[in-house]
Chain A
Amino acid sequence: MTKDEALLAYTLRLGDNALILGQRLIELVAAGPELEEELANANFALDFIGQARMFYSYAGEIEGKGRCEDDFAFLRDDREFANFLLVEQPNGHFGDVIVRQVLFDSFYGLQLEALTKCKDKRLAEIAVRAGKEICYHLRHTSQWLVRLGDGTAESHARATEALGRLWRYAGEMFAGDEVDIILQSAFDGPDLETIEAQWSLKVAAILDDATLAIPDEKWIIGGGRQGHHSESMGFLVAEMQFLQRAYAGATW
């Protein structure tokens, strides 16, 4: 794998994580627990969609074959998406959503922070912008996790159950492959071992505040980067791509 191929794959993965998670958050519109949270959720979704657009546009430039953001979003099959399994997990209840966001945002924030120092100038620039957004998301979602964990008996039980369900998907974020290795060696990209250590501390502190125990779960499910997704992913992609697929070549 060449340096450029690795950079392209890495940038697409960033775009895929942002888009798929944004799409999941969009499914929550008009279903929030309170009107104010409706606005917060839409802000988060807008941030993710905006980030996906920046990553995809840049990926198109790296690739140099004239593909634009919409080609990556709407004209690839689900097997070609390389997002983590964690971000594609169906929304479930509000506790599931918050746990998913906290586990991912804690990782993604650290990843972006490391990327601001990478040698690829464009990626570093996008990381600066996206990093500020994710910093705010994590503030909001981690506060919510604390409220749920340290709220009522019911909310504590629901948060615990959500954590148990989603924990197995977190490990995939730290299992680097060739793309991560090249990005680190050739571009001074993120060091996943360092990030994992920082992530563990950060998440442990949030869970501690939330009076929630770290799940005793050793089993890790991966495969997102190879396009081995959950069954639900196919439906997400089919729904998202419907118009572009049904009216091939149309302008919208």
Chain B
Amino acid sequence: MQNKEWALYEVFIRTRAGLSHRHAGSLHAADDQMALDYARDTYTRRSEGVSLWVVRSDQIVASDPAESAAFFEPAEDKIYRHPTFYEIPDGVENL
């Protein structure tokens, strides 16, 4: 029997309560439980986390860098979405 490689998983860690989960790296596992155990054993050896997510890498839907111009550049000229766009006259406070 051909030895099949274990699936690749991506690991996300919440470093402490109040923060979002952040990508930490990847690992191989044969099933979800195993992936979670190994994420704990690999990525939280120095108390790096209080919560873990693992997800199979092939389940992630990602944007394509070739389309990044169409995806991200249209936002660049919508500067009115940022507060710095607006001029506040001197003397106006709490705005």
Contacts and interface: CB of A to CB of B under 8 A. Distances in A.
Nearest to B9: A36
B38 A36 contact: yes
Interface residues of B, number: 14
Contact of A34 (B6, B31, B40, B45): B6
Contacts of B28: 34-36
Q: Give the one of A35, A36, A143, A147 with max B CB within 10 A.
A: A36
Contacts of B20: none
A185 interface: no
A36 B45 contact: no
B34 interface: yes
Contact of A39 (B6, B30, B33, B41): B41
Interface size on A, as a range, is: 10 to 19
Contacts of B29: 36
A136 B40 CA distance: 10
A43 interface: yes
Contact of A36 (B27, B31, B33): B27
B47 to A, nearest CB: 13
Contacts of B38: 36-37, 39-40
Nearest to B38: A36
Given A36-B42, A39-B42, A43-B45, A139 B37 contact: yes
A136 B30 CA distance: 19
Given A34-B28, A43-B41, 9 more contacts: A34-B6, A36-B27, A36-B38, A36-B42, A39-B42, A40-B37, A40-B38, A43-B45, A139-B37
Interface of A: 34-37, 39-40, 43, 136, 139-140, 143, 147
